[in-house]
Structure 1
């Protein structure tokens, strides 16, 4: 991990949206297993008993894949950290692997690229190198991150100094 150089001026933690909580997962499981049981029961009554097993296997596979996706998305995150010396992007993927990028905040330029029909692309550029940030976010969250990070970079590049001796009302 990187060593911090000075106080934290901006920090953003980006995580994927998790719209299906614990209660939602239980409701999905009940609905899916109930539907599979009803379908299997109907085919059992019609004499096509092998369909009952396939319906159960299919429902179990769907629930396994949904729970696997939920577990992986809980690990994914991206942390943007602006200090006086650097702008650090730390990513953790679904498998828990971490990657870290460090940029000089003075030379980093933020660009929000519109893509019709898709979520916008938020890119930090420096000297021909581009790093996409906010990959886990939706459109609205990406725009909020662009505004907040852009404002933080501007404040860092153009600090406002307050000298009480130079005030006119003093």
Structure 2
């Protein structure tokens, strides 16, 4: 049986500010922003990831203090390019640290407006072998053409 981690709840104080941060500055895709009289939740996904974050005012989110999540980890093929992109978008990213010269030993970090912290690990192998192949990526509401079903003989 497969057990896949597909959602991580991130505790935040201001949903609109957090949506703008993760979508516009970090570059996550906004999968949905649901507002009713009872709830306001949003799901955002890093491009190429099978795991999303959810922010909102559901009971599980309200049990954690905004900014209390530490060390969520993202993986990129090129740490220098990723860090430069975040800095260009106004994010204060830490300097790159190389703990090990082998692939996977290079990191930098950043925080969201509430203080939740993120580590970004470089795995150069992701450039040639993304975790989710490009042809398998699809998000809710994405306007992509669906392949025609195969004809049965």
TM-score, structure 1 as length reference: 0.22
Asked which structure has the greater CA Rg, the reply is: 1
Higher fraction of helix: 1
